[in-house]
Chain A
Amino acid sequence: MSGATTASGATTASGATTASGATTASGATTAAPDAAYNFAYLDEQTKRMLRRALLKAVAIPGYQVPFASREMPLAYGWGTGGMQVTAAILGSADVLKVIDQGADDTTNAVSIRAFFARTAGVATTESTAQATVIQTRHRIPEFPLREGQTIVYQVPQPEPLRKLEPRETETRRMHAMADYGVMHVKLYEDIARHGRVTLAYDYPVLVNRRHVMAPSPIPAFDNPKMHFSPALQLFGAGREKRLYAVPPFTSVESLAFEDHPFHPWKADCACDLCGATDSYLDEVIIDDSGGKLFVCSDTDHCATRRAEGHRGAKAGHALTAAE
């Protein structure tokens, strides 16, 4: 699935215009908000409720704050939690970037960006550096986040203990008492069976040395980027009705053992389009005879590098001929 989304991303990212046509890679198109909606879709009382919950979440890093999740005009699982958080924190001067699996031009990203462009009239961008608010699904941008930026994660399952303990009452008690032995049991089992921890995404982290937190399904590769990040990190789970947060400059440690340290896995090669060796790669199947391409999952990162003249091993491939 990620291959398919990225395939479309890789072919069009350099094109600088997205399906919506309202946004360019260089920055910011704005239009007046649609008068039929309140600013950023949600009513003011709802946004106050969300902000109160967010303040509590920021005050207790990694703690899951229950909130009254609203019905959004798209299905659960498409980012309703992240959208509510974005709606609550968005101001008219903000510049919004939305990514899905690292790509700016997949259906989910384009739709959510268009949604806020229409209901809030905010400027949108594909550039990580220019954005003030970044809503994301499954990735943290490769370009380092800076102070003053806010990244909003869409979260399907906020409870890191859920697969190990199905009872909500019990997991809350476990969080309250920092009873996290079972979390390491999962890692112990992986090492006993496979010789290493096999979790590739949604790799549990310990926030501020207190709460174990699900980082949302970002690849383990992105976990180190959360540690002492200068940006504010907010998490919203719409269906599960939970918000949580990691304030700037907070410790976020990936759980591991002393003799089996955490390892951020990625495909062991360079991006075939831009030649980057330090970015997270997606594997894209390109024909029926097993041909494949490894490309940056962060389309903004890849496009920026190519604009700077970096070229990967298959930069002239037919799939990229449009460039």
Chain B
Amino acid sequence: MERETNAIEAQATAWFLRQDAGPLDPTAQEELHAWLAADPRHYGAYIQVQATWCDLDRVAAHRRTNASPPPVLRRRHHRPWAIAASVLVIALMGVTATLRLLHRSGEVFTSSIGEVRNIALADGSHLTLDTDTVANVNFEAAEREISLERGEASFSVAADARRPFIVRANDVVIKALGTAFTVRIDDRKTDILVTEGLVEVVWQRASGPQVRRVGARQLATVAMSEPNLDVQAVKPETIDRKLAWQEGKASFAGEPLSAAVAEINRHSRVRLYVDDPTLARAHVVGVFNADDAETFAHAVAAAFDAEVAQAPDGLHLRAHETSVTQ
């Protein structure tokens, strides 16, 4: 059944793409508002386009992970003067201070809460940022360096033996050669999950560095509270669960509710709280949309015979007055 292209839909698409091209100037902004307000169908068509575009993020991520390696694109990450400057610095090897400064002048990529962002890098590698993440990318002739300032990111590294790929996260340095891995940091620990290939993890402790090689399907954990870097094998199912965020999902296989809520809270602007300590220990199983705290809360409430209370600071999960099922 062929459908004639709807005029409103065409207008909505045009408006959407104008906004996608860059922030609208005030006049255009007003025009858009007037157009949207003129007819609920306008608004509806705009929402349709917006939701379709948003849905295509998943497909984009899927294509990146399942398709043959994408063509290497020369993105102009560095301004010409920056390249000139780095050449100059290599010539004057002694000037380490300047080199450090250059390291900091790389391109900063961020994702907002609830967003998963995919970035193609100049060397053919890919970077996927989970919610609320900041990564600083510094690619130079001799090495490719990314520092993870906050959050969680996956790296799919294009092989280049002469240019090591290095990720800095907290006080840990991860060196990779044509591999794929994910790094997650918070104030207390750094997790490195390797999905492909081999990486070298260097923990720069005050007492001296500790070095470990971490292979595919292994998880390295560097925790403030532990004296040693811990490396453990991870089952493929666990890897899938840990990387569910790449498709906007959070997946739990029996984690305590408190941990599951912490994970959902990373992705959602609506905060969740568990008011009951017994309830906080209940085991959560299931796959949820990571940024949808409300649905998660209601599902949990239904499963554990709890209730969801709306409060000014967010949603509170608490036991029914009668009982708590564990």
Q: Do A and B come from one complex?
A: no
Q: Which residues of A contact B (CB under 8 A)?
A: none
Q: Which residues of B contact A (CB under 8 A)?
A: none
